[in-house]
Amino acid sequence: MRMGVDYYPEHWDRSMWEEDAKLMQETGVSLIRVAEFAWSRLEPTEGNYDFTWLDDAIDTFATHGIHVVIGTPTCTPPNWLVNAYPDVLPQDEKLHPRYPGIRGHRCYNSPSMRHYSALIVERLALHYANNPAVIGWQTDNEFSLNECNCEHCNSRFRMWLQDKYDSIESINAAWGTVVWSGEYSDWSQITTPLGGTNHKNPSYVLDYKRFETDSVVEFQQLQLNILRKHCPNHFVTHNIWSYPMSLDYYKLCENLDFVSLDYYPSTSPEKAESSGYSGALTLDLARGIKRQNFWIMETISGPPGCWMPMWRTPHPGFIRAFAWQSIARGADTLVHFRWRSAPSGAEQFWHGLIDHSNVPGRRFEEYRGLCDEVRKLAPLLEGTEVQGEVAILHSHDQYNAFQIQHQVEGMDYFDNLKTIHRAFTKLGIMTDVLNETDDLSGYKLIVAPSLFLLDPEIASRLETCVKNGATLVLMPRTGVKNQNNVCWTQPLPGPLSNAAGVTVAEYDPIGRDVHNIRWQNKAYSCSQWCDILSPKGAEAVAWYEDDFFAGETAATVHKFGEGKVYYLGTVPEEAFYLDFLRDVADNSGLHFIPDLPEGIQISTRVKGSTRYLFLMNLTRKQQTMLLDGTFRSLLGSREIGPTLTMAPYAVEIVELPQKNV
Ligand code: GAL
Ligand code: ZN
């Protein structure tokens, strides 16, 4: 467990390196990430590699005990490359080149891009394989899909389809192209989406998204092969941007050693609390990608600005509290973005730990304190892991399918997932947010927000979990389509109807209209969607109160094998989730905290029978909560509890003697 910073030696006069390295060492920084945008300095003209400056920088920092992660610079192809090989630039739907002059301006399928990327990565790998200060690599920077329409993307898309479908007949059948005379008679008729209407065949668009992910994965794999070959002792990671995301992170990270996340919680006072909750989800998602601890490769150090007008500066305690939140949810190393604010370039006002003035101030002192704390606790936390009790299922395919076809005003796959996750966080229940294709054995409770595309194999895996005793919670828009994004022609929830013991007789997409349901004699509002349910063995547990379907069933529960399946036919307000999930958790034997104050988050890291509990007040308000006894605070070496008053952004970490708070 260590602390690092993102450092750009090429942005500073060499005379500053030594001072920076000294201050880092004094502060407790033992790691820098470098070079991920430095192609024009590493290869100033074609074939003229110059790593001497990076060697000198690495040596300077190594002298101060600082290790280095090198980012491959392929996110920023230099001007000479773009000029000489225009296929490097992605093309928009009118086939105009896109993005020259900033970053991310590269087509993943461009032969020149692939060729020159491989060359520079190989040079770097060979050069730094045996440098004792270098410990690992970051591929590129924050990959995302770029919807390129160039000739190379077009021909590779066709190859990808040929590989998947073999014949033009099977593609016509899989996509149902018969509608609107969309049948293909020759592969050459299939192109990338090339603009036009938003109402293209959804099967085609979803496959195009999958192809785009595979293009990124292939582009990264070229680099990985080189790095694995020449640097067998180094790790390779990638810094993912946040969620929701079209690019399939599960595929992207499959061959990496671990996931790194760039995490920027909102500093605005109005948003800070909700951003603490969505941040918790982001951290759980990152941990779920490889089902292991991860790194934070970038995180907030000062007021962010550039892509938007500047946000508020992090309130005192904010940098520290969100750093501990990251560790509490599975981060093993924190790299702060960035050491010092950039004097030039577009991101001048995305502030670092040190301002342009080069005078370390309040934020820096907070960071210094954080480094001390992490150093002190690292030996205890080393090797501990987060073990969620509940599995929430997530999928980039589902997200993309809902993006392609917005079901109704106000319905958003990811927002709905957020609401459920937030309810668990408010109940103090740790969740693992996993790929829907993951093995889910061992979870007592599984929540599956809208399995819109439902693979019968996933359905049968879920059935098995339930038969073996798990409780499964299903939501509307489940079992609507197959993996080709074509509707199942059977009653909803399609392949899960049997396990759910219910079918949908009719539905009303109510969008932003607000209706009510009654559950356990209490009314709750709902919106977006109303499935009118007809139980087939399941028991009705909630009813609609409005409209022509007043009195009809809104939610059911069905005993199935040793477990049960809840089907929620509508999207209720958060208050419902809090009551309902608390009830379900209780019945599933899960421990929850009945009155955790708003904005306080708790989580545990575990190793064998040793458990550390983290408590964080991620708000600007003082909060009070009750603990199950008194504990010694590992941060302050004092006794805390049973009544614990937490100042704004306060953090406490305690060792739990046995299985209760
Ligand atoms: C990340 C990116 C960094 C920097 C930071 C602040 O998305 O990887 O290079 O731009 O955001 O905007
Ligand atoms: Zn392209």
User: What proportion of the chain, given as a percentage, has pLDDT over 70?
Assistant: 99
Whether the Cβ atoms of residue 232 and residue 135 lie closer than 8 Å to each other: no
The per-residue pLDDT of the chain, averaged, comes to 96
Structure tokens at 507: 């539905």
Whether the Cβ atoms of residue 224 and residue 139 lie closer than 8 Å to each other: yes
- CATH number of 498's domain: 3.40.50.880
| Maximum alpha-carbon separation in the chain | 76
Co-location of 263 and 134 in the same domain: yes
Confidence of residue 509 (pLDDT cuts 50, 70, 90): very high
Q: Where does residue 139 rank: exposed (0-12), middle (13-18), buried (19+ CB within 10 A)?
A: buried
pLDDT at 659 over 70: no
Separation of alpha carbons 562 and 447, rounded Å? 17
The rounded Å distance from CA 526 to ligand 2 centre is 44
Co-location of 293 and 247 in the same domain: yes
Q: How far apart are the first and last CA of the chain?
A: 25
- CATH number of 255's domain: 3.20.20.80
Decide: 350 in ligand 1 pocket, CB within 6 A: yes
* 37 CA closest ligand 1 atom index: 9
Confidence of residue 102 (pLDDT cuts 50, 70, 90): confident
Co-location of 79 and 122 in the same domain: yes
In a domain, 163, yes or no: no
Whether the Cβ atoms of residue 66 and residue 50 lie closer than 8 Å to each other: no
Confidence of residue 163 (pLDDT cuts 50, 70, 90): very high
Co-location of 411 and 309 in the same domain: no
pLDDT at 660 over 80: no
Decide: 142 in ligand 1 pocket, CB within 6 A: yes
Which of 81, 72, 124 has the alpha carbon at shortest distance from 101?
81
In a domain, 36, yes or no: yes
User: What proportion of the chain, given as a percentage, has pLDDT over 90?
Assistant: 95
Q: What is the predicted pLDDT for the residue at 9?
A: 98
Co-location of 58 and 7 in the same domain: yes
In a domain, 179, yes or no: no
In a domain, 595, yes or no: no
Ligand nearest to the Cα of 299, by number: 1
Co-location of 262 and 142 in the same domain: yes
In a domain, 37, yes or no: yes
Domain boundary among 587, 615, 641: 587
* 239 CA closest ligand 1 atom index: 8
In a domain, 86, yes or no: yes
The rounded Å distance from CA 90 to ligand 2 centre is 5
Decide: 337 in ligand 1 pocket, CB within 6 A: yes
Structure tokens at 62: 């190594």
Q: What number is the average pLDDT over the span 392-399?
A: 98
Co-location of 60 and 121 in the same domain: yes
Decide: 298 in ligand 1 pocket, CB within 6 A: yes
What are 9-53's pLDDT values in tens digits? Answer: 999 999 999 999 999 999 999 999 999 999 999 999 999 999 999
Whether the Cβ atoms of residue 206 and residue 228 lie closer than 8 Å to each other: no
Co-location of 273 and 127 in the same domain: yes
Q: What is the predicted pLDDT for the residue at 159?
A: 98
The rounded Å distance from CA 155 to ligand 2 centre is 9
Pocket residue to mutate for ligand 1, from 239, 347, 351, most atoms within 8 A of Cβ? 347
Separation of alpha carbons 541 and 548, rounded Å? 19
Co-location of 423 and 567 in the same domain: yes
Domain boundary among 540, 562, 587: 587
- CATH number of 650's domain: 2.60.40.1180
Give pTM, 2 decimals.
0.97
Q: Which region, left, alpha or beta, applies to residue 67 given φ > 0 means left and ψ of -120 to 50 means alpha?
A: beta
The rounded Å distance from CA 595 to ligand 1 centre is 37
Co-location of 575 and 610 in the same domain: no
DSSP state of 642: S
Q: What is the predicted pLDDT for the residue at 49?
A: 98
Q: What is the predicted pLDDT for the residue at 101?
A: 66
pLDDT at 72 over 70: yes
Decide: 543 in ligand 1 pocket, CB within 6 A: no
What are 521-544's pLDDT values in tens digits? Answer: 999 999 999 999 999 999 999 999
Structure tokens at 379: 């030996």
Decide: 140 in ligand 1 pocket, CB within 6 A: no
pLDDT at 356 over 80: yes
Which of 139, 91, 88, 86 has the alpha carbon at shortest distance from 113?
88
Which of 448, 418, 432 has the alpha carbon at shortest distance from 275?
418
Separation of alpha carbons 432 and 424, rounded Å? 11
Helix, strand, or coil (residue 104):
coil
Decide: 413 in ligand 1 pocket, CB within 6 A: no
DSSP class per residue in 595-635: TPPTTEEEEEEEETTEEEEEEEE-SSS-EEEE-SS-EEBTT
Domain boundary among 348, 364, 381: 381
390 to each of 35, 418, 585, 597, how far by Cα in Å? 39, 15, 9, 21
pLDDT at 217 over 60: yes
Nearest CA to ligand 1 atom 9: 141
Q: What is the predicted pLDDT for the residue at 108?
A: 98
CA atoms within 13 A on the CB side of 336: 31
Co-location of 272 and 139 in the same domain: yes
The rounded Å distance from CA 606 to ligand 1 centre is 32
Nearest CA to ligand 1 atom 6: 350
Catalytic sites, residue numbers: 142, 298
How many domains does the chain contain in total?
3
Pocket residue to mutate for ligand 1, from 6, 8, 262, most atoms within 8 A of Cβ? 262
The rounded Å distance from CA 180 to ligand 1 centre is 44
Separation of alpha carbons 564 and 82, rounded Å? 58
Decide: 347 in ligand 1 pocket, CB within 6 A: yes
In a domain, 176, yes or no: no
Whether the Cβ atoms of residue 72 and residue 231 lie closer than 8 Å to each other: no
Confidence of residue 466 (pLDDT cuts 50, 70, 90): very high
86 to each of 79, 95, 153, how far by Cα in Å? 10, 12, 14
Decide: 36 in ligand 1 pocket, CB within 6 A: no
Which of 81, 77, 84 has the alpha carbon at shortest distance from 106?
77
Between 273-277, 359-363, 491-495, 577-581, the lowest mean confidence (pLDDT) is in 273-277
Q: What is the predicted pLDDT for the residue at 274?
A: 84
Ligand nearest to the Cα of 350, by number: 1
Co-location of 583 and 604 in the same domain: no
Which of 369, 371, 366 has the alpha carbon at shortest distance from 354?
366
In a domain, 185, yes or no: no
Quote the domain boundaries for residue 274.
Answer: 2-146+215-381
Q: Where are the alpha helices (DSSP H) in 28-66?
A: 39-42, 52-63
